[in-house]
């Protein structure tokens, strides 16, 4: 840990203030007047800041600093025991956009037990994936199909769509496997978004469920059809 300058100490105190507006102004100032000594303070605060607007401004302030200094610390923070710290670090890496941020996209991050961390990892992954690794990433994401609530599933579908052809091919491959109902519905709904990007996720899920219901409906015997036909 580097020795903090008095400016960094002052920033640390302001970011601990009880007033969210004071914390927001401190983060704005830190981004407007970047100083390498601010970096550790800003990253540490991301892990505990309760206000969304302040967290968002902290991320912006970090992006205003040299990525050669911020990215290694953010990659380390993405492995924190604190879920909020992991989520914010991954989110910030996606905003920085530096290639080295890919080091934080591990199988553990993509399957993080905390939903917000996993969503941040998915969003960061599709931004940071190196050219040529899109298919590998898409295949890894198929393991998360069917996870969580509608908003969680919508986030994963967006990740697949953003991966383009690699995402589409991964869905085609996974649909040849035996899947649970939730994963199968999610995969089919996501496929529909490739075919019709303007279709809402909710409508895509509804249609996927309808298709599965028809597919799983018991077949009507031929003799039953004959008996039911008008004489």
Helix locations, 142-221, DSSP H? 150-162, 165-174, 181-195, 201-216
Across the range 147-171, mean pLDDT stands at 95
Phi, psi of 39 (to 5 degrees): -60, -50
CA-based nearest residue to 24, from 54, 59, 62: 54
Query: Is 136 within a domain?
Result: yes
pLDDT range class, residue 231, cuts 50, 70, 90: very low
Instruction: Confirm whether 192 is domain-assigned.
Output: yes
Tokens found for residue 182: 């939730």
Q: Give the DSSP H or E segment for 131.
A: none
**Reported pTM:** 0.87
Indicate if the pLDDT at residue 228 is higher than 80.
no
Listed in sequence order, the residues at least 6 apart from 27 whose beta carbon sits closer than 8 Å to its beta carbon are 15, 42, 45, 54, 57, 58, 60, 61
Instruction: For residue 224, tell me if it sits in a domain.
Output: no
Confidence of residue 3 (pLDDT cuts 50, 70, 90): very low
pLDDT in tens, 51-75: 999 999 999 999 999 999 999 999 9
Number of structural domains, the chain?
1
Residue 212: inside a domain, yes or no?
yes
Give a yes or no: residue 227 inside a domain.
no
**Does 231 fall in a domain?**
no
Report d(CA 138, CA 123) in Å as an integer. 12
* 171: in domain: yes
Asked, for residue 90, whether it belongs to a domain, the answer is no
What does the angle CA 75 – CA 77 – CA 83 come to, to the nearest 5 degrees?
125
Q: Evaluate if residue 152 carries a pLDDT over 50.
A: yes
Max mean pLDDT among 47-51, 178-182, 218-222 falls in: 47-51
Using 50, 70 and 90 to split pLDDT, how confident is the model at 222? low
Give the domain extent around 135: 129-217
- Helix locations, 47-114, DSSP H: 52-63, 67-77, 83-96, 107-110
Q: Which of 64-78, 126-140, 188-202 has the lowest mean pLDDT?
A: 188-202
């Amino acid at each position: 840990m580097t020795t903090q300058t008095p400016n960094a100490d002052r920033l640390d105190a302001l970011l601990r203030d009880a007033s969210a507006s004071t914390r927001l102004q401190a983060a704005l100032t830190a981004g407007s007047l970047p100083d390498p000594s601010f970096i550790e303070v800003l990253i540490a605060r991301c892990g505990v800041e309760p206000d969304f607007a302040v967290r968002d401004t902290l991320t912006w302030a970090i992006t205003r600093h040299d990525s050669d200094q911020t990215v290694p610390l953010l990659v380390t923070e993405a492995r924190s025991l604190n879920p909020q710290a992991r989520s914010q670090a991954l989110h910030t890496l996606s905003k920085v956009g530096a290639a080295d941020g890919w080091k934080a996209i591990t199988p553990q991050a993509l399957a993080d037990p905390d939903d917000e961390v996993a969503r941040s990892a998915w969003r960061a992954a599709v931004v940071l994936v190196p050219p040529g690794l899109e298919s590998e990433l898409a295949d890894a994401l198929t393991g998360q199909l069917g996870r969580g609530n509608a908003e969680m599933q919508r986030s994963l579908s967006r990740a697949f769509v953003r991966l383009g052809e690699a995402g589409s091919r991964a869905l085609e491959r996974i649909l040849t496997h035996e899947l649970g109902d939730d994963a199968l519905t999610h995969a089919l709904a996501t496929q529909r978004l490739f075919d019709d990007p303007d279709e809402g996720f909710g409508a895509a899920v509804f249609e996927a469920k309808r298709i599965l219901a028809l597919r799983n409906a018991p077949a009507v015997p031929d003799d039953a059809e004959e008996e039911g036909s008008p004489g």
